[in-house]
Amino acid sequence: MHCRYLIEDRVSDSFGLAADESMAMRVGEKLSSPILRLYTYRSCSALVGRFQRIENELNLEFCREQKMSVNRRPTGGGAILMGEDQLGVALMLRDWNGYKVPRELMRHFATALCEGLQIFGIKSQFRGKNDLEVEGRKIGGLGIHSNASGGYLLHCSLLVDLDMPLMLRALNVPLEKLEARKLKNIEGRITTVRRELKKDTSLNEVRDKIRRAFSSYFGFEFEKSCYSPEEKKAIGEMEYSRYLNKDWIYQKVDVPDLSGEARQMTPAGLLDVRVTMAGRQIKAVFLGGDFFAEESAVSDIEGSLRWHSSEFEKIHKTLEILYAKREEELAFLPIENVFEVISKAVESARAIAQDNTASYGCFVNPENGDAEPVHT
């Protein structure tokens, strides 16, 4: 199979993210053959996952002091640092050997990466929902994003090297993650290619091993490539409309009336839920965290619980109906985990309501907390 091979160094965060998403769309639209893109960022960029709240994940004051750019990825997962010593591995394709299920594509992508590291003599495994590990220490984080055109973006942030003190100051590492792994410090959880090899391996050497592994595993015939004028224009438009747009980067949740929140480490990753309550009615739900799921499916969960009864039985029933329709897209996010954390967030809002003499929301009749919203 013919595959374009792109090499770039020291790209800006906005261009790097825009190129990944824009080129995956072109592959989906059959305007390009599959693409393997191996690139680095300017030092340093702090990137949060698609569903994360940026103020929870990053030390924004420190990032500003260090003139560190911040942005939001199209893929799920947790916050990361990307710079000159972290290799972005992006594979854009429609399918492979008939595989179109995200979980299967992710597994094959991870296997090819493991084979690339094995050429160095580094034995790695794909573990958890999105981690590439060496004896329990993370050496890379994986993500996947699908678009309406049928294209997939599979991405790995491969740690060739890492400034650990800088990372610990820039990122807010959730205590839930450390406790779940019984770790006293985050340094016991991370490794790098250079640390494993005990030598200063060059990025080009790492690129070469990854390219060879992907050629062997996927059967790709690589052709070194660059962007066409049309592709540069599309990337620029995507960069301007999204990755230079503060509304995208600093997404906020409206929190009028009463609000509650809960976060919990689950088998799917860290799930962070905030609810807005108008009386005993759920006015809005926001799901965040470093989990992986189809963006439209997560939006459907949030939409299905908008102006919804806060009775737990009814919440569970609504989730059951939705999961029956979108089981494949929500496979990384088990229904019981979602239900449990939403329930805790609702309980949190109810506790605030009991502590306060706050009035009901302006769209709910206070004599009937489960009343339908009044449309004006």
Residue pair 132/143 in contact (Cβ under 8 Å)? The answer is: no
Q: What is the pLDDT of residue 341?
A: 95
Which stretch of DSSP H or E encloses residue 4? strand 2-11
The per-residue pLDDT for 148 is 85
Count Cα atoms within 13 angstroms, Cβ side, for 158.
29
pLDDT given at position 78: 81
* Per-residue pLDDT reduced to its tens digit, 202-232: 999 999 999 999 999 999 999 999 999 999 9
Asked if residues 22 and 147 have their Cβ atoms less than 8 Å apart, the reply is no
Say if residues 192 and 159 touch (Cβ distance below 8 Å). yes
Mean pLDDT, 10 residues at a time, the chain of 376 residues: 96 98 96 97 91 87 96 88 96 81 87 98 87 91 88 96 91 61 62 96 97 97 97 98 95 66 84 85 86 80 87 94 87 89 92 52 31 32
pLDDT given at position 195: 95
pTM: 0.73
Give me the pLDDT at residue 11, please: 97
pLDDT for 353 equals: 60
Per CATH, the number for 2-249 is 3.30.930.10
**Cα torsion angle, 215, 34, 41, 149, sign:** negative
Query: What are the residue ranges spanned by the domains of the chain?
Result: 2-249, 258-355
What HEC string does 289-332 produce?
Answer: ECCCCCHHHHHHHHHHCCCEECCHHHHHHHHHHHHHHCCCCCCC
**Radius of gyration in angstroms for the set of CA atoms belonging to the chain, rounded to a whole number:** 22
The alpha carbon of residue 14 and the mean position of all alpha carbons in its chain are separated, in whole angstroms, by: 16
The domain defined by 258-355 carries CATH number 3.40.50.1980: no
- The answer to whether 14 and 245 are in contact (CB under 8 A) is no
